[in-house]
Amino acid sequence: QVQVVESGGGLVQAGDSLSLSCAASGRTSSIYGMGWFRQPPGKEREFVASIHWSGSNRYYADSVKGRFTISRGGAKNTVYLQMNNLKPDDTAVYYCAVDPRGTLLQYDYWGQGTQVTVSS
């Protein structure tokens, strides 16, 4: 089992930056990729960004390309999401998830989420 905890959310103004952190614990040897997802108010959860643990593959949703950057910490169990030039449409609960297979397509472990609110 892997436990996932996000942190770093908050209330910011449009154009501001915010950094989210995600730490996984437990069976971290089974982590081969991690991703960020978000669920805007009244909408379904959507993909934001993902990274393979080799560091060679990173993927972004079109809506965040050029503004968000996913990176991993030195340890295998941490990942970050740097969000720049935030827009009101970025308002959502942001979730971190763990991929134990390395495909970046299926995530078995999820955090509880952290709220990001961007005011105009």
Structure tokens at 14: 């449009």
Contact, 64 vs 84, CB < 8 A?
A: no
Q: Which residues lie below 8 Å from residue 114, measured CB to CB, with a gap of 6+? A: 6, 7, 8, 9, 20, 93, 94
Q: pLDDT digit string (tens) for 37-68?
A: 999 999 999 999 999 988 779 999 999 999 99
Confidence at 6, pLDDT banded by 50, 70, 90 = very high
CA distance 98 to 32: 8
Q: What is the mean pLDDT of residues 17-23?
A: 97
CA distances from 108 to 23, 39, 101, 102 (A): 15, 17, 9, 11
Structure tokens at 74: 């030195």
Q: pLDDT digit string (tens) for 74-114?
A: 877 899 999 999 999 999 999 999 999 888 889 999 999 99
